[in-house]
Amino acid sequence: MPTSSSLRRHDVDNLRAVAVLLLIPFHTARLFDGQPWHMKDATAPYWLAEFTLRLIGLWQMPLLFLLAGMAAAWALERRGPRAFLHARAARLLLPLAFGMLVLVPPQVWVERATPQAPLRQSPIDFAGGYPEFLSHALECCYPAGNLSWHHLWFLPYLFAYAVAIAALARTTAWPALARRVATAPWLLLPAGMVLVAIELALRPAFPSTHDLVTDWGDHAHYLFLVLFGWWLARHPGLDLASRSIRHAATLAAGAGLLLWLASMPAARGGLGLFDLPWAARHGLRIATEWLVLLAMLGQARRWLDRPLPGLAAFAPLSLAFYMLHQTIIVLLGWAWFGWSGQPLTKALAVGAAALLLSLAGAALVARAGWLRPLFGMPRRPAAGRG
């Protein structure tokens, strides 16, 4: 029988593609919400932007980390830890360096050069144009300086977790626990309480920073999900467990989502129907996140485990798309800063333009052999070679 690494998991590919594509509405909404960011609409905030961020942000990055853990398990079946880390360094660290030098500086300049924008994340002014700014682009470190990885924080985090996964490559991955869960799939549902406990213990002292060094709340959260994905992929029988509870997980996730949004203040995109202490509301959020992830895994295994033409074509472009999209959104927000008073129309225009430009840019990268490694794509074999 073929191993899991020799089979294409279309459900994983399709879920990843959907999560990456939804970065467009997510980061477009950041132009219009009430939290500091690199660029803003002149009359932000708007409730619909906050609601969009809550709805997508609940599961988007957690899902990408969980799927990364699954992909790491399969990659380690095909190669040893050293080769695995070498491949991950080429796929993640080279694009990170390129992005910090080429894709992030325009975002920092826009932020510095638009003092009239509300809620700037770092209110430091720069009066010159972009060519003048480039001579200051490597001044360390953001927010006091200009050198930053901005949205590319995902890349160093993935590499750090790849190192952790490689260290576990030769372990048995807790087979007794996997057998227990396979015979009692409902145990996957309360397993999320571990994640809730992690969040309630660490988040008050360690808010999300994306600086890699002090971001212990995010590290504990995301590493748990990476390890969970690795464990799932190491035991293919667990696919049946997640699929068998998909209906219960979906119903529970829907109920949790409604309760969480009902308890969220309207100013943050919720419905504001009742109030909960922070610990109760945050615990409900994390429990709902877990249920949504289980529901998505189970439903995708049932319905998305086949090639879907649009998503299949997008899959090899996803990393380049991710690297390009936020710079494009920030630049569009800057170029159209004078357009205000029509937030929904403007958001749809920014989102549509960013989607088309990001797809076009990623497709061009895929066709340019010298650019492919800079965006995490493998080099194409030379003509005439196998």
The domain boundary, picked from 255, 274, 304, lies at 304
Same domain, residue pair 39 and 168: no
Same domain, residue pair 97 and 8: no
User: Is residue 3 scored above 80 in pLDDT?
Assistant: no
In a domain, 138, yes or no: no
CA dist 210 and 156 (Å) reads: 10
In a domain, 119, yes or no: no
Same domain, residue pair 239 and 357: no
In a domain, 30, yes or no: yes
The number of distinct structural domains making up the chain is 2
In a domain, 179, yes or no: yes
Supply the mean pLDDT for the chain.
95
Same domain, residue pair 170 and 297: yes
The domain boundary, picked from 255, 271, 304, lies at 304
pLDDT in tens, 257-292: 999 999 999 999 999 999 999 999 999 999 999 999
Amino acid identity of 82? R
- If we measure between CA atoms, which residue out of 274, 344, 275, 360 comes closest to residue 43? 344
For residues 258 and 303, is the Cβ–Cβ distance under 8 A? no
Same domain, residue pair 221 and 265: yes
Percentage of the chain lying above the pLDDT 90 cut? 93
Q: Tell me the H-state helices in 209-342.
A: 216-234, 238-244, 246-263, 278-303, 309-314, 318-335
User: Is residue 64 scored above 90 in pLDDT?
Assistant: yes
Same domain, residue pair 168 and 216: yes
Across the range 340-365, mean pLDDT stands at: 97
Same domain, residue pair 10 and 38: yes
In a domain, 200, yes or no: yes
CA dist 177 and 245 (Å) reads: 17
Give residue 52's domain range: 1-57+307-371
Same domain, residue pair 221 and 349: no
User: Is residue 8 scored above 90 in pLDDT?
Assistant: no
Same domain, residue pair 86 and 37: no
In the structure encoding, which two tokens stand for residue 137, read together?
Answer: 């682009």
Same domain, residue pair 236 and 171: yes
